[in-house]
């Protein structure tokens, strides 16, 4: 009886040591320190090499992979199907491996047998930007934004002509005219790609719940931009009573957030939840661009976009740091609409941004001492502006993270790019 008890105690001690060693190895391999070696003074180099082997994709190697003494922290994705474990040299497919890049956590289940060694394979990460660009053989630039673009532009993507057309993160690729191959299926909805942002994320505008959605089906609802209009700060998607203030949600942002929480919050891992939305509230007093001090009311003045777009026909994707909103959902800007081929000088019925319904942008226009105005796209595809207290349609904008992948599709309405959410 005593011997049995002693034997049981010994088994518990051995099991505890095994779990400790495994836990130590997992701790080492999941370090968040960039380039952290999987070797550590707590476990001998030979012990770690006997337990974990890391391989990263290397096209110059005949096997396609090279041995590494580190788990990559960026630029690679874990190849779960290629990774495996052995026990005493024999492969054991009952052991499952998973690795979360976001938290850098490796899970091995189960891993309690002595002689277990796991082989981890990591493939080079192909960004959604790189994938998308393979579908558009023709890359063009534009410098004249004074007219509409309505011609069919299938197979064509536009890019920044120079650094003046970059956004705050770098070179931009965008769609204009009437492309038939910028459709995306994500989170149960159809979207159209507006642009590939400078940071590699992808900006989408809501298109509806089916490939043939038109008119009212391309909106999530209607609303005033804001419930009040008698102060200039009501042009802000978020505002607080000062020129560039935030903190209070506009009427339309409340609706956007409610829709996001109902329909998209479960897909937050695939959405850039701190994307840069531009609520450009720099003010100008006249068409020559003479700057005037901002006022909440009492004086009439133009916002910078009015001078830039209505007078100079010179849109920009840059944004003052004081007007950047880091939020998961927003609206298209008037500048983005013009980049897409919408104009203030004519209608664009055949443009991909035209939906037979007017809808809000998030770009301010002007203040008249009594009324605040924001740009919107008309049902015929012309850019104009409207009093913020009036009702118009809502088409959300979201940004897909740069590291999401496409599982299928070619970008057409019938075969949209399907975002992998498995």
- How far apart CA 348 and CA 147 sit, in angstroms, is 9
Distance CA 356, CA 48 (A): 63
Position 52 scores a pLDDT of 87
Mean pLDDT of all residues in the chain?
87
* pLDDT at 234 (0 to 100): 98
Alpha carbons 421 and 380: distance in angstroms, whole number: 35
Stronger pLDDT, 5 or 176, i.e. the higher one:
176
Contact 279, 236 (CB under 8 A): yes
CA distance 260 to 249: 14
Instruction: Examine the pLDDT at 157 and tell me if it is beyond 90.
Output: yes
Query: How many residues in total does the chain contain?
Result: 422
How many Å apart are CA 77 and CA 403, to the nearest integer?
9
Q: What is the dihedral of CA 36, 37, 41, 42, to 10 degrees?
A: 80
As a whole number of angstroms, the distance between CA 209 and CA 333 comes to: 23
Identify the CA nearest to 397 among candidates 421, 363, 348, 350. 363
Under 8 Å between Cβ of 171 and 198: yes
Distances (CA, A) of 59 to 28, 65, 123, 197, 403: 27, 7, 10, 29, 21
Does residue 2 have a pLDDT over 50?
A: no
The three-point CA angle 24-26-29 to 5° equals 110
Q: Are 260 and 396 contacting, i.e. CB atoms less than 8 angstroms apart?
A: yes
Residue 57 to residues 117, 122, 138, 139, 404: CA-CA distances in angstroms?
20, 6, 30, 30, 19
Q: Confirm if 339 and 310 have CB atoms less than 8 A apart.
A: no
Q: Are 149 and 341 in contact (CB under 8 A)?
A: yes
CB 303 within 8 A of CB 291: no
CB-count exposure of residue 188 (10 Å: 0-12, 13-18, 19+): exposed
pLDDT (mean) for 37-42 = 33
Structure tokens at 199: 């940071």
**What is the average per-residue pLDDT within 220-238?**
97
Query: What's 271's DSSP letter?
Result: B
With residues binned 3-state (H G I as helix, E B as strand, rest as coil), the percentages for the chain, rounded to 5, are 20, 30, 45
Summarize pLDDT for 331-346 with one digit per residue, the tens: 999 999 999 999 998 9
Q: How crowded is residue 38: how many other Cβ atoms within 10 Å of its Cβ? A: 22
Q: What is the pLDDT of residues 237-287, one digit of tens each?
A: 999 999 999 999 999 999 999 999 999 999 999 999 989 999 999 988 666
Give the three-state DSSP class for 83. Answer: coil
**18-42 average pLDDT score:** 36
**Radius of gyration of the chain, Cα coordinates, nearest whole angstrom:** 27
Rounded alpha-carbon distances, angstroms, from residue 176 to 47, 238, 341: 58, 29, 5
Q: Are 170 and 127 in contact (CB under 8 A)?
A: no
What element of type H or E holds 383? strand 383-387
Q: Is the distance from CB of 419 to CB of 400 less than 8 angstroms?
A: yes
Q: How far apart are CA 281 and CA 402, in angstroms?
A: 28
Residue 62, token pair as written in the block: 């005949």
Q: What pLDDT does residue 422 have?
A: 81
> How confident is the model over 127-141, as pLDDT tens digits?
999 999 999 999 999
Domain boundaries, the chain: 2-125, 129-419
- Would you say residue 6 has pLDDT above 60? no
């Amino acid at each position: 009886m005593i011997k049995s008890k002693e034997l049981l105690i010994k088994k518990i001690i051995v099991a505890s040591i095994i779990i400790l060693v495994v836990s130590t190895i997992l701790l080492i391999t999941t370090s968040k320190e960039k380039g952290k070696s999987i070797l550590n003074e707590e476990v001998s180099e030979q012990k770690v090499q006997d337990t974990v082997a890391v391989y990263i994709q290397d096209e110059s190697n005949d096997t396609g992979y090279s041995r590494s003494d580190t788990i990559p922290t960026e630029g690679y994705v874990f190849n779960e199907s290629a990774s495996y474990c052995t026990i005493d040299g024999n492969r054991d497919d009952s052991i499952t491996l998973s690795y979360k890049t976001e938290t850098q956590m490796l899970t091995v289940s189960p891993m309690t047998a002595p002689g277990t060694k796991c082989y981890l394979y990591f493939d080079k990460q192909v960004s959604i930007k790189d994938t998308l660009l393979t579908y558009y053989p023709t890359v063009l630039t534009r410098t004249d934004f004074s007219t509409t673009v309505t011609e069919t532009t299938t197979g064509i993507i536009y890019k920044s002509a120079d650094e003046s057309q970059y956004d705050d993160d770098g070179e931009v690729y965008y769609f204009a005219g009437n492309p038939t191959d910028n459709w995306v299926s994500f989170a149960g909805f159809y979207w159209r790609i507006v642009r590939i942002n400078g940071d590699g994320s992808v900006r989408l505008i809501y298109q509806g719940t089916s490939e043939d959605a038109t008119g009212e089906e391309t909106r999530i609802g209607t609303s005033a931009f804001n419930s009040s209009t008698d102060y200039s700060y009501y042009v802000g998607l978020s505002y607080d009573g000062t020129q560039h203030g935030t903190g209070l949600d506009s009427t339309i942002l409340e609706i956007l957030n409610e829709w996001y929480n109902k329909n998209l919050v479960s897909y937050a891992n695939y959405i850039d939840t701190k994307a840069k939305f531009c609520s450009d509230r720099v003010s100008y007093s006249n068409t020559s661009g003479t700057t005037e001090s901002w006022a909440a009311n009492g004086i009439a003045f133009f916002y910078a976009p009015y001078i830039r777009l209505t007078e100079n026909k010179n849109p920009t994707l840059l944004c003052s740091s004081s007007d950047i909103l880091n939020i998961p959902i927003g609206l298209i800007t008037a500048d983005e609409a013009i980049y897409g081929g919408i104009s203030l000088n004519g209608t664009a019925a055949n443009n991909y941004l035209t939906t037979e319904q007017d809808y809000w942008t998030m770009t301010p226009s002007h203040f008249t001492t009594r009324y605040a105005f924001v740009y919107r796209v008309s049902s015929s595809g012309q850019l104009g502006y409207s009093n913020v207290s009036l009702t118009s349609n809502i088409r959300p904008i979201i940004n897909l993270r740069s590291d999401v992948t496409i599982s299928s599709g070619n970008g057409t309405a019938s075969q949209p790019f399907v975002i992998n959410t498995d």
